[in-house]
Chain A
Amino acid sequence: MFATEFEYKKANSVSEAIQLLSNDADAKLMAGGHSLIPLMKLRLARPGTVIDIGGIAELQGITANNGILRIGALTTHAQLAESPLVRDSARILWETAYGIGDPQVRNRGTIGGNVSHADPASDLPTVLVAMDAKFTIQGQGGITRRGSRTVAAADFFTGAFSTVLAENEILTAIEMPVLAANQHSEYAKMAHPATSYAVVGAAAVVTMDGNTCTVARVAVGGLTPSPVRGQSVEQALVGQELNAETIAAAANLIDNDLGSDIIGDIFASAEYRRAMAAIELKHAIFHATGLAHH
C-alpha cells in the first residue's frame, strides 16, 4: 500500500505535459489519480515520474456547438453527472456518470483518465462507443511526430488496459453528436458489489420514428476486453416496431457479436456474463424506449 519512490511534476499546459512525457520514458500522466494511484500503491505500477495534468485549464470544460457536445478530458464524473448540458445533450452519459463508483471516485475520476486507462470493467468506454464519440488526441507535432488526431471510440480501445494512445500522447477532449428529441439512450449494468464496476454493461442509443426504430447503436462491455458493438442487434432493431418481443429477440442476438474472448472471474464466470449481456442490453433498450421491463 506504499508506492515505490517517484518524482512528481506538475504540468501547466498540454504542450508542457507532452514535453515532459517525451523526455522521460518512465513517466506517467496523472489526471484524477483514481486508477493510477491504487496501482502504484499495490506496486503494480512503478513510474519513475508522475506528471500531474490535473490543473491544466485547456483540458476542462463542457460545451455544445453545432450539434456537437465537447467534453474536456479532465471533466470529472461528478461534473458530468451535475451538468444540465450533458443531461440535455447525452442523457446516457449523464446517467452513467452518476453510477460510477462512489462520491469520492466521481469527484476525482475524470472521463479522460477513465477511457485512457481502458479498464474492461469501466462504464464510459461502452457508453462512448454506443454514442459514436470521437476522441481528440494531441501528440508532440513537428514533421516526424504525430500532431493532433481524432479517433472514433470504437477504434480507440485495442484491448484490456490498452488503447491507441502513443507514449507521448494526451487525450484532450471527447466529442459526440448531441442527441435529438427522437433519440433515446440508456445504459444498464450489472455492477460488481465491491466497486460498482461493470460486470456486464450495455448501452443503447435508438432513433425512433413513432414506434419504429430507424437507427440503433448498441454496445456491451465489462465482459469483453474492450467494448463490443452489437451489430447483429442493431440490424434486428432497425425497421422494427419496438415492443417487449422485438426488443428481447434483438437483444438475444448480442451473442453473435461477442466473440470468444469473454472475461470470467471468481465473481462471475464467462458463461454467466455471456448470458447476462443479452439481459442487460434488453434492460437498456427497454428503458431507452420507455418500455418498462416488468
Chain B
Amino acid sequence: MTTRIFGSGIRRREDPRLITGGATYTDDVKLPGMAFAAILRSPHAHAKINSIDTSAAAAAPGVVAVYTGADTDGVLNPIPCAWIPPDSDVKAVDHPALAKDVVRYQGDAVAVVVAENRYQAEDALELIKVDYSILPAVVNPEAAMQPGAPQLHEDAPNNQAFHWVAAGGDTDAAFASADVIVKDTIVHQRLIPNAMEPRSAVATWTESMGELTLWSTSQNPHICRFLASLVTGVAEHKIRVIATEVGGGFGSKIPVYADEMITSFCSMQLGRPVKWTATRSEGFQATIHGRDHVEHVEMAATREGKITAVRSVIYAGMGAYLSTAGPGVPTILHGLMYCGPYDIAATKADIYGVFSNATPVDAYRGAGRPEATFLVERLVDLLAVELGIDPVELRRKNLIPKFEDGHDVASGITYDSGDYEPILNMVLGHVDYQALRQEQARMREHGEYMGIGVTCYSEICGLGPSQVAGAVGFGGGLWESAIVRFHPTGKVNVYTGVSPHGQGEETTFAQIVSDELGVDVDDVGIVHGDTSNTPMGWGTYGSRTTAVGAAALVLAVRKVKEKARLLAAHLLEAAEADVEYADGKFFVKGSPDQSKTIQEMATMANVAWNMPEGMEPGLEASAFYDPPNFVYPFGAHVAVVHVDPDNGHIEVKRYVAGDDCGPQINPMIVEGQVHGGVVQGAGQVLWEGAVYDDNGQLLTGSMTDYALPRAHMFPNIETLFTVTPSPHNPLGVKGIGETGAIASTATIYNAVMDALRPLGVTGIDMPLTPEKVWQAIREKQGS
C-alpha cells in the first residue's frame, strides 16, 4: 500500500520562487516603450471640482499626457457594480473612472499623468491645480442615513444604496413571547486589507489588432476581462487579462477598479504600454475596505436557554460608490447565516446599504460571515450571562444535531453536512476547559484578569450554485471548469479558471491529479491566471477554489482516466470491461503484470499510431462543475487572554482552532490557511481599524498608524480538525480559506469580555486598544 499523495503535507511548490524573488508580479512586467501613470487623488472627502488646470503638469519634463474626467467622459463607461441583490432597490449610482464634477472620498481619482518614468509622473502630479469647493462629508453609515446628513448621490436619497430583508420563521412572535431578550450594538470598524503586493496594472493596446492586453492584480481575471470590456468598449475576445502572479488579495483584488481602466484608457490613447502601480498610501485610500457595519442586534430565548430567534437592523457602509461585489457582502453572505451552528427557528436580517464619504467597501476575508458569526456568538455570550448558564453549556444545548445530507435553517438555505459537537468537545478537552475556569477563578482572587472565549461557527462558502448566483443578483455564474491535457512525454498540464494568489492550489491541484492518476506530482503543472490560455472561470474568493475549482478538475481527471483505460484495454488486447485501475496502473483483471501507466497511454494517444476504432487522438478532457449547493465548514475555537487592568493591555495567551473542512488535500496548507485567517480576525479585535476624522480625512493612512498583526504579537496557534465530508462535492471537500477570520474575531472578543466581566465592563468597540480597555475599566470603577 503506497502512501496517498492526497492528504499529504508536501511543501508548496510556489514557495521557492516567491521566497527568492523569482516571481513575476505585475509591477515586474517591463515592456518596450512602456510609460508610467500616476493618479492624482482627491485630498478631500467631498468636494465640487470647479476647475482643473493641467497645463504646468503637461509641460513638465518627461510628461507624455495628462487626462482628467473631461477626457474619459464618454470614452470610458462607468465602473460597474456586479452584485445587485434582488428586491433591494439598489441605486447603481454613476461611478466615473475619473471624477467629473464631484469627488466623494479622499482618494477618488481626479486626473492621471503619463510620463516616461515614474518619478516624472509623480513630480508632475504636484503641478496639477484643482480648484475645489469643499462640501460637508459624512463617514459613519448610520449617521449618513439621518435626516440632514450630507448627500452623496442625487439618485440615492438619504444615502440609501439599498434596503434588503431576509426573514425566515416568525421572528416577531418569537420576540413577543420570549422569556429573555439580549441586545447589543456592534460596530464592525472599517478594515484596510493591505495585501503584501500593492495593486498594479500594465496595459498595452495593439492598435493594428484592436487588442488590449492587461496585466492586473486580480483574483478573477475572467471577471476582470468581462467588466473591462464593458468599461472600455473593447470586445471581450479582444481583451487578454493576465494575473498569474498575485501577491495576496484577501478580497481586495476581486473588484475591478477605476485605476486599471484608467491605465487601459491611457494605453489606448497613446498606443504604447502604460504601467500603474499603487503606492502603499494609495492602497490605504483607494483599495477597498472591509466590514463597516453598525449593527443593532438581538436574540430571544427561553428561560431554559433555548434560543428562539435572532434579528438585526444593520447599516452597512458601501463607501462612496458600489464596488464590484459590495452589495452582496452584507446581504447574501451575511444575512442568511444567523443560525450559525444552532437550531434557531426564526431569523431576520434587515440591512441598509449606505453611501458615505469614504473608500468603497467590498469583500474582505470572510466577507459578511465574520460579522454574522460575531453577531450570533456575541449574543450567545450575553445570553449566557443573562441566564447564568455556562457559555459552553448554552451553546451545546442549541447545537444542530449531526446531519449528513442537508439541514434546512430558518433563513431558507440548506447546510450540506455538520457534526458540531465532536469538534467542540475536542477543543474543550484540548484546553481542559474546567481547569481553565478554575485557574480563572484563582487568578481573579489575586486581581488578575484572565478570559476564556469559546465559539462555535458554521459558515457558507464554496460559492456557489450558479442558479443561486442568478437568484441573488450576482452578475455572473459561479461554476468552474478545468482542462487536463497530457503531453506526448506523459507530462500533464491542468488549465483552470480559478486564480490562486498565495493559497497554494498549484500544489494541491497537482496532488489531486497525482493521486487520481498515479502520475508523479512533479509531472503535473497547473496553469492559471491568464484568460488567453485558461478556460472561463469565476476566480478565487469565497473559499471556492478547491470546493468548486478542484471539483471541476477531478471530473476532468476522471474523464481522462476513462479514456486512458479504454486505450489501455485496446493496447493490452483485453476486453474493456476487464481492464481496471489501481496504484497508478491499468491492468487486466487477474493478471496485474499485464499493465500500462497513464503516462504510457498519454504517449500512445498523442502519437495516435494505434487507437481503438472511433477514438479521437490525444489525451485530454475538460469538465464543468456547477455545485448543487454551497459548502458549510464549521468548527469551535477557544481563546485565552489576559487583560492588565493597569494599562488595558490584552495578551492572547492561547488560541485553539478546531475546524472541519472535510477531507484535507494538504494538511500543511490547511493549517497555514487557518493560521493566516485566525490572525487576520485577531487584527480586527485588537489592532486594526480605519479612523476618519469628521471631515472624512483618513487618519490611519499608513503603516505608521495602522497596526497589522505581526508574528510576535500572537501565540502559537494550536489547530485541531475533524473530518465531515460534504455530501455533494466530488471530493467531499469544503473551504478553509476564511474560517479562521470568521471565527477568531468573535472568539477573542468574547474572551476579553469574559476577562473584564468582574470589572463590570460588558462591551467595548473594536479594536480593543489598551486605552479603550483602560477607559472602560475606569468608567466602571468610577475613578
Q: How far is the CA of A102 from the CA of B711 in the complex (A)?
A: 11
Smallest CB separation, A107 vs chain B (Å): 17
Chain A residues closer than 8 Å to B771, beta-carbon distance: 267-269, 272
Chain A residues closer than 8 Å to B647, beta-carbon distance: 190, 276, 279
Selected from B686, B699, B775, the residue in CB contact (under 8 A) with A266 is B699
Selected from B122, B448, B704, B707, the residue in CB contact (under 8 A) with A2 is B122
11 contacts between A and B (CB under 8 A): A2-B122, A2-B279, A5-B119, A42-B702, A190-B647, A193-B686, A194-B703, A194-B704, A266-B691, A266-B700, A268-B769
Please encode chain A, from 104 to 125, with 1 for each CB lying within 8 Å of some chain B CB and 0 for all others: 0000000000000000000000
Q: How far is the CA of A4 from the CA of B60 in the complex (A)?
A: 14
**Contact A193:B705 (CB < 8 A) given known A1-B281, A279-B646:** no
Chain B residues closer than 8 Å to A1, beta-carbon distance: 279-281
Please name 20 further chain A to chain B contacts, defined as beta carbons within 8 Å, in addition to the given A1-B281, A279-B646, sorted by A numbering.
A1-B279, A2-B118, A2-B122, A4-B123, A42-B702, A190-B770, A192-B707, A193-B686, A193-B687, A194-B706, A195-B704, A266-B699, A266-B705, A267-B769, A268-B770, A269-B771, A272-B771, A272-B775, A276-B647, A294-B448
Chain A residues closer than 8 Å to B708, beta-carbon distance: 194
Interface residue tally of chain B, by bracket? 20 to 34
Chain B residues closer than 8 Å to A190, beta-carbon distance: 647, 649, 770
Please encode chain A, from 247 to 278, with 1 for each CB lying within 8 Å of some chain B CB and 0 for all others: 00000000000000000001111001001100
Chain B residues closer than 8 Å to A192, beta-carbon distance: 707
Chain B residues closer than 8 Å to A42, beta-carbon distance: 281, 702
B233-280 contacts to A (CB < 8 Å): 279-280
- Whether B713 is near chain A, meaning CB under 8 Å from some CB there, is yes
- Whether B774 is near chain A, meaning CB under 8 Å from some CB there, is yes
Chain A residues closer than 8 Å to B649, beta-carbon distance: 190
Q: How far is the CA of A192 from the CA of B704 in the complex (A)?
A: 9
Please encode chain B, from 700 to 725, with 1 for each CB lying within 8 Å of some chain A CB and 0 for all others: 10111111101001000000000000
Smallest CB separation, A251 vs chain B (Å): 12
Please encode chain A, from 278 to 291, with 1 for each CB lying within 8 Å of some chain B CB and 0 for all others: 01000000000000
Smallest CB separation, A41 vs chain B (Å): 8
For A1, the closest partner residue in chain B by CB is B279
Nearest 10 interchain pairs by C-beta: A1-B279, A193-B707, A194-B707, A2-B122, A272-B771, A193-B687, A266-B691, A268-B771, A279-B646, A266-B699
Chain A residues closer than 8 Å to B704, beta-carbon distance: 194-195
**Contact A272:B713 (CB < 8 A) given known A194-B703, A194-B704, A266-B691:** no
For B693, the closest partner residue in chain A by CB is A266
Q: How far is the CA of A110 from the CA of B594 in the complex (A)?
A: 72
Q: How far is the CA of A5 from the CA of B699 in the complex (A)?
A: 27
Chain A residues closer than 8 Å to B279, beta-carbon distance: 1-2
Smallest CB separation, A220 vs chain B (Å): 14
Chain A residues closer than 8 Å to B687, beta-carbon distance: 193-194
Please encode chain B, from 670 to 707, with 1 for each CB lying within 8 Å of some chain A CB and 0 for all others: 00000000000000001100010000000110111111
For B279, the closest partner residue in chain A by CB is A1
Smallest CB separation, B117 vs chain A (Å): 10
Smallest CB separation, A142 vs chain B (Å): 39
B199-253 contacts to A (CB < 8 Å): none
Please encode chain A, from 1 to 34, with 1 for each CB lying within 8 Å of some chain B CB and 0 for all others: 1101100000000000000000000000000000
Smallest CB separation, A193 vs chain B (Å): 4
**Contact A267:B705 (CB < 8 A) given known A190-B770, A193-B687, A272-B774:** yes
Q: How far is the CA of A4 from the CA of B121 in the complex (A)?
A: 11
Q: How far is the CA of A268 from the CA of B769 in the complex (A)?
A: 9
Q: How far is the CA of A284 from the CA of B774 in the complex (A)?
A: 20
Q: How far is the CA of A4 from the CA of B16 in the complex (A)?
A: 36
Selected from A43, A193, A276, the residue in CB contact (under 8 A) with B713 is A193
Q: Is the CB of A194 within 8 A of B705?
A: yes
Chain A residues closer than 8 Å to B705, beta-carbon distance: 194, 266-267
For B117, the closest partner residue in chain A by CB is A2
Interface of chain B, helix or strand or loop or mixed?
Answer: loop
Report the count of interface residues on A (CB-CB < 8 A): 21
The CB with the most chain B CB atoms within 10 A, among A190, A194, A266, is that of A194
Q: How far is the CA of A294 from the CA of B123 in the complex (A)?
A: 55
For A275, the closest partner residue in chain B by CB is B774
B703-749 contacts to A (CB < 8 Å): 703-708, 710, 713
For B125, the closest partner residue in chain A by CB is A2
Please encode chain B, from 754 to 783, with 1 for each CB lying within 8 Å of some chain A CB and 0 for all others: 000000000000000111001100000000
Please encode chain B, from 388 to 402, with 1 for each CB lying within 8 Å of some chain A CB and 0 for all others: 000000000000000
Please encode chain A, from 220 to 263, with 1 for each CB lying within 8 Å of some chain B CB and 0 for all others: 00000000000000000000000000000000000000000000
The CB with the most chain A CB atoms within 10 A, among B126, B687, B774, is that of B774
Smallest CB separation, A255 vs chain B (Å): 15
Q: How far is the CA of A42 from the CA of B705 in the complex (A)?
A: 14
Q: How far is the CA of A276 from the CA of B123 in the complex (A)?
A: 43
Smallest CB separation, B499 vs chain A (Å): 27
Chain A residues closer than 8 Å to B119, beta-carbon distance: 2, 5
Chain B residues closer than 8 Å to A279, beta-carbon distance: 646-647
The CB with the most chain B CB atoms within 10 A, among A1, A192, A279, A294, is that of A1
Smallest CB separation, B604 vs chain A (Å): 56
Smallest CB separation, A36 vs chain B (Å): 15
Q: How far is the CA of A42 from the CA of B280 in the complex (A)?
A: 10
Q: How far is the CA of A5 from the CA of B126 in the complex (A)?
A: 13
Q: How far is the CA of A268 from the CA of B703 in the complex (A)?
A: 16
Chain A residues closer than 8 Å to B280, beta-carbon distance: 1
Please encode chain B, from 42 to 82, with 1 for each CB lying within 8 Å of some chain A CB and 0 for all others: 00000000000000000000000000000000000000000
Chain B residues closer than 8 Å to A195, beta-carbon distance: 703-704
Smallest CB separation, A254 vs chain B (Å): 14
The CB with the most chain B CB atoms within 10 A, among A42, A267, A268, is that of A267
Chain A residues closer than 8 Å to B707, beta-carbon distance: 192-194
Q: How far is the CA of A272 from the CA of B699 in the complex (A)?
A: 19
Smallest CB separation, B346 vs chain A (Å): 41
Chain A residues closer than 8 Å to B122, beta-carbon distance: 2
Chain A residues closer than 8 Å to B703, beta-carbon distance: 194-195
Chain B residues closer than 8 Å to A294, beta-carbon distance: 448
B395-442 contacts to A (CB < 8 Å): none
Q: How far is the CA of A195 from the CA of B705 in the complex (A)?
A: 8
Q: How far is the CA of A169 from the CA of B705 in the complex (A)?
A: 32
Smallest CB separation, A38 vs chain B (Å): 8
Smallest CB separation, A218 vs chain B (Å): 18
For A200, the closest partner residue in chain B by CB is B647
Please encode chain A, from 176 to 196, with 1 for each CB lying within 8 Å of some chain B CB and 0 for all others: 000000000000001011110
Smallest CB separation, A283 vs chain B (Å): 9
Smallest CB separation, B378 vs chain A (Å): 23
B68-126 contacts to A (CB < 8 Å): 118-119, 122-123, 126
Chain B residues closer than 8 Å to A102, beta-carbon distance: 710
For B691, the closest partner residue in chain A by CB is A266
A30-66 contacts to B (CB < 8 Å): 42-43
Smallest CB separation, B259 vs chain A (Å): 15
Chain B residues closer than 8 Å to A4, beta-carbon distance: 123
For A197, the closest partner residue in chain B by CB is B704
For B703, the closest partner residue in chain A by CB is A194
Chain B residues closer than 8 Å to A194, beta-carbon distance: 687, 703-708
Chain A residues closer than 8 Å to B700, beta-carbon distance: 266
Chain B residues closer than 8 Å to A269, beta-carbon distance: 771
Chain A residues closer than 8 Å to B281, beta-carbon distance: 1, 42
Smallest CB separation, A215 vs chain B (Å): 27
For A194, the closest partner residue in chain B by CB is B707
Chain A residues closer than 8 Å to B646, beta-carbon distance: 279
Q: How far is the CA of A266 from the CA of B690 in the complex (A)?
A: 11
Q: How far is the CA of A272 from the CA of B647 in the complex (A)?
A: 9
Smallest CB separation, B711 vs chain A (Å): 10
Chain B residues closer than 8 Å to A275, beta-carbon distance: 774
B640-688 contacts to A (CB < 8 Å): 646-647, 649, 686-687
Chain A residues closer than 8 Å to B775, beta-carbon distance: 272
Chain A residues closer than 8 Å to B774, beta-carbon distance: 272, 275
